[in-house]
Amino acid sequence: MTHPTALITGAGRRIGATITRQLWQQGYRVIIHCHNSTEAAAAIAQELNLQRADSARVLQADLNSSQQVSDLASNALSCWGRIDLLVNNASSFYPTPIDQSTDQQWDDLINSNLKAAYFLAAKLSPSLRQQQGNIINIVDIHAQRALPGYPIYSIAKAGLQMMTLALAKELAPEVRVNGVSPGPILWPEQEAEISAAEQQAILNKTLLKRIGRPEDIAQTVLFLASQNFITGQIIAVDGGKSLYSH
């Protein structure tokens, strides 16, 4: 049997790496996209290839570059000649207070969260149609309710949510397009790092009163990839945070 092929963006670390491993365990050949996490991506590919020969490849690309996004699509198709599943997981996340935000921040957040996802979908759509495949976008519960201090990020994710709905119409009936909206799964790093008190405040506004796991997102991706009569839907995996009333 020919193994289906998945391209997962931002797959070297964190949630993307977990999605990659889960898809691989279900028999997918995986194309691990990364930007800066090349060593981590290479380590995952080596581990997976030792267990199943030629089942994982790594492609590096800066999603801020239109040319590199185009090359990523072409190189992904060159790996095994087909794409059955595109998981748009890559994302930039950091605060942009409106009185301090810059053009560069706008471009970076829009490109990584929205523009690259759209053009990867567009360029891979012929193969996805041929394989009757899937696109799964990792959205965010803040696509619906803006995160204070993060206006550009919230705008970008809102765009990705609408892109999910729009492409479900554009690519029907051959390709199904769905989304997963994480709530508190992994605490943010670097510029977006938050204090223990801030973390607790978030959990207090989450119905299940705990943080989720990357596996919760990956299992939802697997569910959507395997369900042949679901398209244009976005599933919140957030412990009930989006239901919390202020």
Q: Where are the domains of the chain?
A: 5-240
CA distance 169 to 166: 5
pLDDT at 75 over 90: yes
| CB contact set of 64 (below 8 Å; sequence gap of 6+) | 107, 108, 111, 112, 116
> Which pLDDT score, from 0 to 100, does residue 3 have?
92
CATH code reported for the domain at 5-240: 3.40.50.720
| CB contact set of 222 (below 8 Å; sequence gap of 6+) | 22, 23, 26
pLDDT at 191 over 80: no
> Which pLDDT score, from 0 to 100, does residue 246 have?
52
- Convert the pLDDT of each residue in 92-111 to its tens digit: 999 999 999 999 999 999 99
Higher pLDDT, 202 or 33: 33
**CA trace torsion 49, 89, 134, 39 (10° rounding):** -20
Which residues are designated catalytic?
153
Q: DSSP string spanning 66-119?
A: HHHHHHHHHHHHHHHS--SEEEE---------TTT--HHHHHHHHIIIIIHHHH
Task: Calculate mean pLDDT across residues 171-186.
Answer: 96
- Convert the pLDDT of each residue in 193-237 to its tens digit: 788 898 999 999 999 999 999 999 999 999 999 999 999 999 999
> Which pLDDT score, from 0 to 100, does residue 245 have?
59
